[in-house]
Amino acid sequence: MSAVLTDWGPLAEPVHPDAAGPGDPVWKDNAYIAFWDTARQVYGSFHVSTSPNAIGGLRARCSLQFPDGVVEVIEELRPGSFDGPTISFGLDGVITVDHPELQARFVNTPLYTPADYSDTGLIPELVPGKPLQHFQQGLRMIGEFTSAGTTREVDGFGLRDRTWGFRDEAAQWIEYAALVGIFDGVFISAMKFLSADGSQAADGFLIDGAGSHPVTDLRLRRTAAAQFLRGTVTLADGSVRVVGMRSREAGFFVPMGAETDGPAFGCYDDFMVLDLDGAPGGGFLEQGIVHRVC
């Protein structure tokens, strides 16, 4: 297994260990990767979240699903670090796991150009004048992992996400959906948020060889169980692209906050084989919603 590391730019932003104090709103440094290897039927997520002033919710997670099993490692992180007892999320692109149930080494390298959500205004500021910094980019994922005595290789695609700033999911939105896919020469990331006042707004980017094209709307069709069937994406130039599901392959819950007796933000990633206007690819839909019954 080998891959050449290249510059991740803003997605390699270091952790900010002194960004907030006990009297400030919660500051979060998060990094996230979701990837899919449709040929080998391996799907996975890595998610790290740390903070200088949060109580609880500092964790590292690795979730993998493959043809004959599922393995998941969740552990606490120290404030100011993306390295846990067994999971190391390297901002240079190297991720390792050394756990009794999982040993892994993955190298992720960037594809396309970064999608910068920081200045779009879609995500409301928790602290006025200090917007959440949010970047996403497509990736190639190469590596191998060993679980239950069997070693498997991975060569797939995915999404890398890096955010930092003042953040409280349960206070900033009620519900959202995020559609991500990579197709032949095309990376798409589209989001839609439901705000507390009942309004909905979409944002995102379709990135291809011609550049970055802003998304102005996302419309979703779901099954009777609220699972994704089709997404209709409208771009700023008025053109429309359709992302359809070919098969549903894997899924993971995404821990977003700390244990609580009050409202809690629930989130789930649904991995699929997809197509974009008929061209095959892969990706996932992330759905998040605030659970208020308590």
Least Cα distance to 181 among 132, 144, 152, 218 occurs for: 218
**187 in Cβ contact with 207 (< 8 Å):** yes
For domain 9-291, the CATH class is mainly beta
What's the pLDDT at 2?
44
For residue 63, pLDDT over 80 is answered with yes
Over the stretch 245-276, which tens digit does the pLDDT of each residue have? 999 999 999 887 778 898 888 999 999 999 99
**With the CA atoms of 152, 155, 158 and 164 taken in that order, what torsion angle do they form, in degrees rounded to the nearest 10?**
70
Is residue 117's pLDDT more than 90? no
Is it the case that residue 1 has pLDDT exceeding 50?
Answer: no
pLDDT tens column, 121-148: 666 677 888 888 999 999 999 999 999 9
Q: Is residue 5 over pLDDT 60? A: no
- With vertex at residue 212, the alpha carbon angle to CA 282 and CA 39, rounded to the nearest 5 degrees, is 15
C-beta atoms surrounding 106 within 10 Å: 25
User: By percentage, how much of the chain surpasses pLDDT 90?
Assistant: 78
Taking the C-alpha atoms of residue 115 and residue 138, their distance in angstroms, rounded to an integer, is 9
- CA 91, 92, 94, 99 dihedral sign is negative
pLDDT, residue 66, reads: 97
Residue range 7-11: average pLDDT? 94
CA nearest neighbour of 63 among 90, 27, 99, 38: 99
Q: What is the pLDDT of residues 207-232, one digit of tens each?
A: 999 999 999 999 999 999 999 999 99
The predicted structure's pLDDT at residue 131: 84
Q: For the segment 176-189, what is each residue's pLDDT rounded down to a tens digit?
A: 999 999 999 999 99
Query: What distances in angstroms separate CA 77 from CA 19, 31, 44, 49, 285, one per listed residue?
Result: 17, 13, 20, 8, 27
